[in-house]
Structure 1
Amino acid sequence: MQQLSAHGQQFIQDLAQRYGVSTDAAITMLYAVMNGNGTMAQFSHPELGGSGQWMMGGMTMVGDMFNYGLKSKVDGLCVEISNQLMNQPGYFQPAQSQFQSSGNASGGNLFVSAAAAGQWWPGDLGSPSSTGGQNNVRYAVFPGSRRLVVDIGGNVTVYDTLDNQIGGVSQQQGGNDSMTFSSQYGTIAVNSLPVVSINGYQPQPQQQNFMAPPVQQFNEAPAYQAPSAQEGDVFAKIERLADLFKKGILTEQEFTTKKAELLSQL
């Protein structure tokens, strides 16, 4: 997770005190609202009724569905956090909220600056909602711009997260082929997302090599050729000899001998 600045830590402490929850619960809700782009949240914390959902201007759902006091507390927490996040420079560009600022949001960055934290992602993305890494792989999530940045051994790839609300990124072994993230649609493979850039450059469209299929060889029958006049005369004589043989005028030996003589003329 992204490191809170001194202002961010003070904001969380004040928020927890006003709503009577622990700082852990307040931080959980902070990141839930961040992952929801400032307009919604999916969270799970025992102090907040277990698993629940919140939507700006919409319905608030908690595990204890008839606990209206808890619903009001969750809604108040989320609205204040959303208003505070709206003031983060270059962080969110959410749709116009139907809520006006409650006056509790104050200036100042909630998180340690990218430079102080050792920024490795493109600067125009602003501040990530969460970061993490293992071995030579690290990632940063930017819900405001719908981007996921993955650095594998110094190669930085920016992905378009589409409408996925990323709740966490995990990695097995290997590169980005084994990286997955959780969203409202379940577990998604990172390499299934559209690639925006690689090391600052747009990926070149893959050129497909279209090769003509190999010509299949067939043993074709020779083309028919009409017999010549000489050949026709020879065949006609053989047919007459065969007719004489059938009528018993020629013996078999005479027919065979004469037939061989005629065929030798071809």
Structure 2
Amino acid sequence: MNAIFTDASFQNMLNVANKYGISSNAVTDLTHCLMNSNGTMAQFNIQELGGGGQWMLGGMTMVGDMFNNQLKYTVDGLCAELSNFIQQGAIQYKPLPRLENQQGGFSGNWWGDLGYPNSTGSQNGTSYAIFNNINRLAIQQNGKVTIFDTLNNNIGGVGQQQGGNYSVTFTSQFGTVDLSTLPIVSGVQETVKQSEPLPLLVEEDIVKPNNQQISNLEEDNSFFEEDIFGKIEKLASLKDKGILSEDEFTSKKNDLLSRL
């Protein structure tokens, strides 16, 4: 994937390159590596930076020439500044255009106008695209695309899931990501075509529910309400851990309560 940075992003990268006396090509390659983890780590093989190396935010810096402290200092400084730009949104990829195919659908980036993903994949009929730099996760299943707001989750792992709505599971720095707690930004809705007018109903045609059906309906509503309150409790836990702000928690809570 030939991802292209925005002009403003490239200027920020060029400023960092000039500061450390490194070529813009080397800094561009290093930034691509950092973008895969939303600026938290990078594994690279760049000749100008001593060949193979690894950097982790708040961790160790390793370079091919392990005794070259000056090179370690340079790599650490480069990665730290580029990481800061990425997490602030000052380094971003240009959005991909949506290419319409002959069938009238869209090919290539089925996730729409989110831009370049950090990673993509497909397992058991489910496709996914991860956008850590804009906190988005797109999942395509059975022809439908659902886009989640990943909040503060930095998704870095994907595995196979045995049950649930999707055949894949995602992990972040907080562990397994519970998709049911993530706000849905958008989704493809099915449209029902009505070919002819519906017949008018008279009172005799209306089937009134019996007492058992009413009881079952009330029980279903009770389960639905418990599910809503369970999600609110999970959101409250995220707020207590500092993952959600008070405003974000209130907004999501009100959205869930409005469904009751």
The TM-score normalised by the length of structure 2 is 0.46
The structure with the largest alpha-carbon Rg is 1
The TM-score normalised by the length of structure 1 is 0.45
